[in-house]
Chains A and B, each alone.
Chain A
């Protein structure tokens, strides 16, 4: 599985769709507004709750971590 994703990552990098982001170029990626919760995790929790209780679907709502590697 890891190999599959690594191959995918390599392919994306080589194809030019993806540019290598250097560690010192991650200012924008580390912004709160880039997080799925937009910086308000509790608000996001409430929203998910309401949808979960009013609709017949669930799952996929929460995954840890944002789109950055700044820590």
Chain B
């Protein structure tokens, strides 16, 4: 009974990119994920999201550890108010030396397509395919992603 109800509630959500699914060509072009065999880490965040504020410095650290010919990190800022988002990004760049590419998604077009179940959500993508999704605040996320990177080598 509980499962049926849960499924019914889930069904009300639109479909999402799940592990194993292939991203549309439009999305690949829009996010710039076209290099084959390169591992892309797409991280959705917002300035008002407390857990994102904890996660992003770790992702920035990770970005400095990886080989950029193999791994690329892309941030997607979903702030509705672009001014708030840009101020937040500036803060991250100054205080946490965050240097990876950030795409602004004020209209929720990108995140609406990915449709994650929580914030922050991080997608690991290779050859247009979603190979891992990490949702919600996660301790030591940098190390967890490094493990995925090693697995994919």
Interface residues of A (CB under 8 A from B): 2-3, 6-7, 9-10, 13, 20, 22-27, 30-31, 69-71
Contact = CB atoms under 8 A, between A and B. Distances in A.
A23 B5 contact: no
Contacts of A3: 1-2, 5
A10 B2 CA distance: 11
Contacts, number: 56
Contacts of A25: 108
Dominant secondary structure of chain B at its interface with chain A: loop
A30 B49 contact: yes
Interface of B: 1-2, 5-6, 8-9, 12-13, 44, 46, 48-51, 78-80, 108, 111-112, 115-119, 121, 136-137
Q: Which of A6, A7, A30, A31 gathers the greatest number of chain B CB atoms within 10 Å?
A: A6
22 contacts: A2-B2, A6-B6, A9-B5, A9-B9, A10-B9, A13-B9, A13-B12, A22-B115, A23-B117, A23-B118, A23-B119, A24-B46, A24-B78, A24-B111, A24-B119, A26-B49, A27-B48, A27-B80, A31-B48, A69-B118, A70-B49, A71-B50
Contacts of A24: 44, 46, 78, 108, 111, 116, 119
